[in-house]
Structure 1
Amino acid sequence: MIKPDIKSLYYITHIENLPSILQRGILSHKKVEELGVSYTPIYDSGIVSKRKDKSTSVKSSLWEYANLYFQPRNPMMYRVVHEKDKRDIAVVGVKPDVLAAAGGLITDGNAANDPTRFFFIKEGIEILLKQWKIIQNEWWNELDGSKRKIMAECLVPEQISPELVHSVFVADYKAKERVETIIGSAKVPVIPEPNMFFQPISARRIGNNISLIDGDMFFSNMQTLTISVNLQGVMGKGLASRAKYQFPDVYVVYQDACRNKQLTATKPYLYKREASLDQELADLSLPLVTSNAIKWFLLFATKRKWRENSRLEDIEGGLDWVRKNCNEIGIQSLAMPALGCGLGNLDWAEVGPLMCRYLHDIGIQIAIYLPREHQIDPKYLTNEHLLNHS
């Protein structure tokens, strides 16, 4: 049988629980109560009680299992990092040997979700193989079920041995320092993995209001997100394809804007979307009371036809429109990709200074997300090049 490439499983917890985990292992809620172990929760009581009331295929409560995810960067993690301080959260990496645990189960999604099914390990591995691409993805969607499936779990009765813990992952180097102090002499590597916690890999400041970000723009904290599009109404690749998949209403608005000539080569179109991204991206085992992430989408034409390359003069025209209109139309902060530098085949060495010239000092915060397709020479990421380039 072909198996999915499972290098690790993951347990999300509060960093204050790490000494206990490294000593006793990862315990089920029932075991925690029986042993009287003191712990710091990261989930609200409603989520925990819902799992207590949910039975598995062998009629045991989820309360009796320690649960691991195959993908920690999931809707539950999204919920936790938006309700807690990200530096209070740790992800414990567990060796795949845990799959040999007696009585273990695998689910095809969030175990507390009604449609989710439970399987014994061998059959569960076969199910995972069919949805492994979903589990390894960077995003999800409520409509096609991937939001539930990406949270597939391994359930282990009572306890996972501390010997199976191979690493602890945290959001950044400050969290790493805190964890290393908390766990003392325990010989387990503590590894900063910002992307796992929906944080940028890196950020640097340019001028007064611009940040250059290496990360995922769709999880930006800016109020408005920019989607690079063409003028033919086709969202086939890149950021546009992802927007079409993750937020179908954006695609409908985009096609209307093309059809009605509201979007042109030098005039972006602003979609003042009213739905909350938090509600769509976070696990909603219970309502997300703190949700307030209303995002707008700026549809910015970087191509006239989807098969063509981007034109620098069109991008300059669109940037000029943004500079002149962003405050008037209510944009409070703006995230942008490196316009035309991916599928448009333009060079950041030219595009970067152009973007910074038009976006610097316009009265709002700007986050420019660097191309993910290739590395940029550091000399093209400096203030000198981006703000003083002729």
Structure 2
Amino acid sequence: MPIQYVAGDLFVNRCHAQALAQGCNCRGSMGAGIAVGFKERYPQMYEEYRRRCKTDPREFNPGDVFLWRADEQPHVFNLATQEDYWRSKATYERVEVALTEMRRQADEATITSIAMPRVGAGYGGLSWNKVKVVIERVFADWSGTLYVYDEFIADQ
């Protein structure tokens, strides 16, 4: 099955995924939730993300995906699921558009394994059960493996 649900810490990456993924806002802020961990572990990725959010016109918009190619794996997919972080929440449509684009970019980059948290269901404010349906629809016939960390367990 191309989707595996796992418990643990995404950053331990015990599944040895080639890439990690996270949901983001389009304002250049990674100040809460798992985004803080990405910001701390990938400072160059964070700076490029901020630049894309702050340009005029903006280069990172709802539904977009920004793939940060790290010198060493794992790479990072940033999914624009929220317009901002203070007023608006994620939407199921943006999650689906971003997941579809992530899958396309993964195929193009020959990335065959991705690990991600419950995108859109934390600070994004969406129902995990509904997001799960979207994930399963988008990745049902994917040739790679998507690891979804649906339960956080520190350091595992």
Give the TM-score of the pair, scaled to structure 1. 0.36
- Please state which structure has a larger fraction of its residues in helix: 1
How far residue 210 of structure 1 moved from its aligned partner, in angstroms, is: 0.9
Give the paired residue count: 148
**2:137 counterpart residue number:** 357
**2:68 counterpart residue number:** 271
- Structure of greater relative contact order (alpha carbons < 8 Å, 6+ residues apart): 2
- The residue correspondences of 1:230-309 to structure 2 (distance < 5 A) are 230-260=25-55, 261-274=58-71, 276=72, 294-307=73-86, 308-309=88-89
RMSD: 1.8
Question: 1:279-336 deviations in whole A, cap 9, x for unaligned?
Answer: xxxxxxxxxxxxxxx2101011121111122111111111121233321133221111
How far residue 371 of structure 1 moved from its aligned partner, in angstroms, is: 4.9
Residues 1:319 and 2:99 aligned together: yes
**1:15 counterpart residue number:** none
In 2, are the aligned partners of 1:342 and 1:371 still within 8 Å (CA)?
no
Question: 1:88-128 deviations in whole A, cap 9, x for unaligned?
Answer: xxxxxxxxxxxxxxxxxxxxxxxxxxxxxxxxxxxxxxxxx
| 3-state SS, counterpart of residue 326 of structure 1 | helix
1:223 aligns with one of 1, 4, 18:
18
Percent identity over the alignment is 27
How far residue 224 of structure 1 moved from its aligned partner, in angstroms, is: 0.3
How far residue 223 of structure 1 moved from its aligned partner, in angstroms, is: 0.5
Partner Cα separation in structure 1 for residue 147 and residue 59 of structure 2: 25
In 1, are the aligned partners of 2:62 and 2:80 still within 8 Å (CA)?
yes
Question: 1:179-209 deviations in whole A, cap 9, x for unaligned?
Answer: xxxxxxxxxxxxxxxxxxxxxxxxxxxxx21
| 3-state SS, counterpart of residue 314 of structure 1 | helix
In 2, are the aligned partners of 1:228 and 1:239 still within 8 Å (CA)?
no
**1:214 counterpart residue number:** 7
Partner Cα separation in structure 2 for residue 371 and residue 306 of structure 1: 23
In 1, are the aligned partners of 2:22 and 2:119 still within 8 Å (CA)?
no
Residues 1:332 and 2:112 aligned together: yes
How far residue 273 of structure 1 moved from its aligned partner, in angstroms, is: 0.9
Counterpart amino acid of residue 6 in structure 2: I
Partner Cα separation in structure 2 for residue 333 and residue 227 of structure 1: 14
In 1, are the aligned partners of 2:7 and 2:149 still within 8 Å (CA)?
yes
Any gaps of 5 or more consecutive residues in structure 1? 1-207, 277-293, 373-390
**1:342 counterpart residue number:** 122
Partner Cα separation in structure 2 for residue 254 and residue 302 of structure 1: 14
Partner Cα separation in structure 1 for residue 83 and residue 44 of structure 2: 22
- Please state which structure has a larger fraction of its residues in strand: 2
Counterpart amino acid of residue 269 in structure 1: F
1:371/1:300 Cα in 2 relative to 1: closer, same or farther (>3 Å)? farther
Write out the 4+ residue segments of structure 1 that deviate beyond 6 Å after TM superposition: none
Counterpart amino acid of residue 341 in structure 1: A
How far residue 259 of structure 1 moved from its aligned partner, in angstroms, is: 3.0
Partner Cα separation in structure 2 for residue 272 and residue 368 of structure 1: 20
In 1, are the aligned partners of 2:6 and 2:151 still within 8 Å (CA)?
no
In 2, are the aligned partners of 1:257 and 1:269 still within 8 Å (CA)?
no
How far residue 222 of structure 1 moved from its aligned partner, in angstroms, is: 0.3
How far residue 231 of structure 1 moved from its aligned partner, in angstroms, is: 0.1
Partner Cα separation in structure 2 for residue 331 and residue 297 of structure 1: 11
